[in-house]
A = this chain, B = another copy of it.
């Protein structure tokens, strides 16, 4: 389990919030890799952060789901200075298209070894 355990977010029982971010990357790095790594480093220090799950296929389409305690913590992360700058660069350079959804997690299940 050690190889994959860290890929799953370790969330508490619902309710909590999910920010679902689907995106298609533009070609070229343009600073994306370093910024993405930095976001993953600083997000866990934000109030209300619960975890993140991410998968991106080789052609550049990806889904990242970040979990937060409540709407206030989502607003706090959206306004965080480095993250705000990354959002602007994302719109300008990194993403051909993205779709972001804010959703309230009502139920959660895991298996076979999930819980």
Contact = CB atoms under 8 A, between A and B. Distances in A.
Contacts of A60: 4
Interface in A79-96: 91-92, 95-96
A42 interface: no
This protein's copies in its complex: 2
A100 B108 CA distance: 6
Contacts of A99: 8-9, 53, 108-110, 114
Q: How large is the interface on A (under 10, 10 to 19, 20 to 34, 35 or more residues)?
A: 35 or more
A114 B98 contact: yes
A37 B109 CA distance: 23
A76 to B, nearest CB: 16
A54 interface: yes
A58 to B, nearest CB: 7
